[in-house]
Amino acid sequence: MADAASSLAPQPSGATGVLVLADGTVVWGMGFGAEGAHVGEVCFNTAMTGYQEVMTDPSYAAQIVTFTFPHIGNVGVNDEDLEAQVDGAVGCVVREAVTEPSNFRSQGTFGAWLASKGKIGLSGVDTRALTRRIRLSGAPNAVIAHNADGKFDIPALLKRAQEWPGLEGMDLARVVTRSASEDWQGGVWTLGKGYARSPRAKRPHVVAIDYGAKDNIFRNLDKAGAHVTVVPAQTSLDEVLALKPDGVFLSNGPGDPAATGIYAVPVIQGLLERDVPLFGICLGHQMLGLAAGAKTVKMHQGHRGANHPVKRLEDGVVEITSMNHGFAVDNATLPEGVVETHVSLFDGSNCGIAITGKRAFGVQYHPEASPGPMDSFYLFERFVGMLG
C-alpha cells in the first residue's frame, strides 16, 4: 500500500494510518493499536522473533521501529515477555496485517496490547523500501499516526516531525529509569517453569544502575551468581558506595550518551578511581568510554537486530549478537589505557572496551539477548567472577 520513496503521496482509499517523515515523505498504511500521533526517530530492526521484547525495551524510547521481518504480531502477546514496564518504542511499522494469534503462550492480540500501551502500529507498508531509505539517508525524524476514520492533517504532522529536535543531545535515561531502588528477585525464564527463583545463599553484591534497563539483564546477572540491587539513573556516587557493592553494572538505555553522561560520567569516574569492578552494556558501555576519555558519535543508521556479528579481538572468535543502538564509542578517540576488545564485522565500529589496570569493561551489544542468541552470556560470568 505504501511507497516509501514518494513524497506527499495521495491517501489511498481505506488508509487509516500514516508515517510522515521530516523531509515530506508520506507513507500510508492501515493503522492499528492506539489512535493518535507520536513523534520519534524511525529505525529498523532485523530480528525474526521477539517483537514484544523489542517494543518494551526502554532503549527504543522516542523511536518508531520498522520490522524487516514480514510477520509481526502473529504469535500474540503475553505477560512473561515484557522487558520493562516503562515506555519503550512509541510505534512500529510492519509489512503484513497482524493476524489472530497462533501460539499456546498467547494471552492476547498484538493490536489490543499496543492500544493498551498507547503505542501505534502501521501495517501494509513496503518495509524493504523504507529500510533501504534509512540505510541510504540515515534514520529520519517522523510522526506515526492512526485514526480509524482516516482523517489526517498532513501539514500539521509534517510540521511536528520537522520541529522535533531528534535524539542528539537528548537525555532519555532520566525519563525511563525506575524511581526507587529495588532488591532484584528472579532468574531467567524456561518453558514450563517460568522465571527462576533467586537462591538465598550469600552471593557477590552487584549494584546495577538503571539507565533504561531490560529485565533480562538482571535475570542473567542472577543466573551468573550475583545478588542484584537496581538503582535509578541519577543515583549519586555516595549512594552507590553506601550499598557496599562488590561490583557495579551500567545498563543499556535510550538517548544521547553525552547528555546522560553529564550526571552519570562523574559517578563512573569515581568508581574507577576506587577500582570498583565495572561492566557496561550499550549506553552503559558508551558512558564507560566517556568516563575513560573517549568520545561518542551518532551513527548513520544504527545497529538493531538479533543477528549482528562481532569479532572478539583477543582470540578472533565471532559472536552473533543482539544489538540496539544509534550511538557508538568512536574508536578513533580511544585514549591510551583503553583497549578495544570487540568490533562490528558489519562496519568496523567499536563493540567493546577494557580499561588497562582496572577491572572495568563494556560491550556495545546485548549479551542478555531477549530476543537473540546467547553467545555472549559468558560476559556475565566473567564480570561476576571478578567479584570474589
Respond yes or no: is residue 163 known to be catalytic.
Answer: no
Respond yes or no: is residue 53 known to be catalytic.
Answer: no
285, 303, 325, 366: the active-site residue: 366
- Determine the length of the chain: 388
3-state helix, strand, coil in the chain (%, to 5): 25, 30, 45
Respond yes or no: is residue 351 known to be catalytic.
Answer: no
Quote the cell numbers at residue 128.
524493504
On whether the CB atoms of residues 364 and 212 are closer than 8 A, the answer is no
41, 43, 92, 282: the active-site residue: 282
Q: Which residues pair with 278 in a beta bridge?
A: 248, 360
CA 317 – CA 8 distance, rounded (Å): 48
Taking the CA atoms of the chain, what radius of gyration do you get in angstroms? 21
The DSSP secondary structure of 166-177, one letter per residue, reads: -STT---HHHHS
Beta strands in the chain (DSSP E): 17-21, 26-33, 36-45, 63-67, 91-93, 120-123, 141-146, 182-183, 189-190, 194-195, 205-210, 227-232, 247-250, 278-281, 296-312, 318-329, 338-344, 350-355, 360-363
CA distances from 7 to 21, 108, 162, 210 (A): 9, 36, 15, 40
Quote the cell numbers at residue 127.
518495509
Quote the cell numbers at residue 248.
557495579
How many alpha carbons lie under 13 Å from residue 124 in its C-beta half-sphere?
Answer: 16
The residue type of 196 is: A
Residue 270 has φ and ψ, to the nearest 5°, of -65, -35
Active site residues: 282, 366, 368
